[in-house]
Amino acid sequence: MQTAVPPIGEPYGDFICASVGHRSDYVFEEVDRRYRLYELRIDLMSFEVPELDGVARRLSAFLKSSRRGRCIVTCRAGRFSDAERFQLLRIAALSGADFIDVDSELPFELARELRELSRTVGTSFIYSYHNFESTDKLDVLKSWIERAEASLSPDLLKVATLVCSDEDAETLLSLCSPRVIVAGMGKLGVKVRCLAPLLGSPFTFAAAFESTAPDQPSYDELRQMILSTTADQLEKDLRRL
């Protein structure tokens, strides 16, 4: 008889991060009640006061409130300038965010300043790399990880790429470790999201509401996929890595 693979963390909510975007800031409190770990995609959300100061005040007030879950604050390029993204992530750290996710597109000097601040205030620092067009070769990704470790010594690293083949999935999954989050984008990337926490990554991402990445499954869908992964399936995938 096949038996379900036990999760790396208990309870299940500790290793699936519910990503929130394309909603108004009114959902902050609802998300905090529903999920143990969640990501606020500030760049994708709408705010009652949409100017930078209004976004900063609302975010800070929420983070300083009596929250139940652990919160990752993320602000990707596009909606805000680099200087504005820096300010929002800085305010998030100063206001008590559990994590800030700083992507590698932010100028290095700003990323380094946020890293130093995160050490001072006790916010965990995630440094992330994204490729929305393909999955880089394994040696390229390993080189990026090594450089990031040497220059910033982040608490966690995140690698998210578009998965176009089984080989791409295997490349990403081979990076799994307690300090490296991997996320596969695209239809073939769902397998990566399912297996990554079972292979050692600290957690994976799923959509709380609308997807915040290409073909990102919902929280409930991904949870069910992980629970239904059998020991035989996991062993077969491990042999291919």
Instruction: List active site positions.
Output: 130, 158
Q: Of 129, 58, 125, 130, which Cα lies nearest the Cα of 88?
A: 58
Pull the structure tokens for residue 118: 């995160």
Please state, in angstroms and rounded to a whole number, the distance separating the CA atoms of residues 122 and 124: 6
Residue pair 153/190 in contact (Cβ under 8 Å)? The answer is no
Which residues share a beta bridge with 218?
Answer: 207
Q: Of 103, 41, 117, which Cα lies nearest the Cα of 74?
A: 41
Phi first, then psi: give them for residue 118, nearest 5 degrees: -60, -35
CB-facing half-sphere around the CA of 240: CA atoms within 13 A: 16
C-alpha 219: how far from chain center: 13
Please state, in angstroms and rounded to a whole number, the distance separating the CA atoms of residues 164 and 180: 21
Residue pair 193/171 in contact (Cβ under 8 Å)? The answer is no
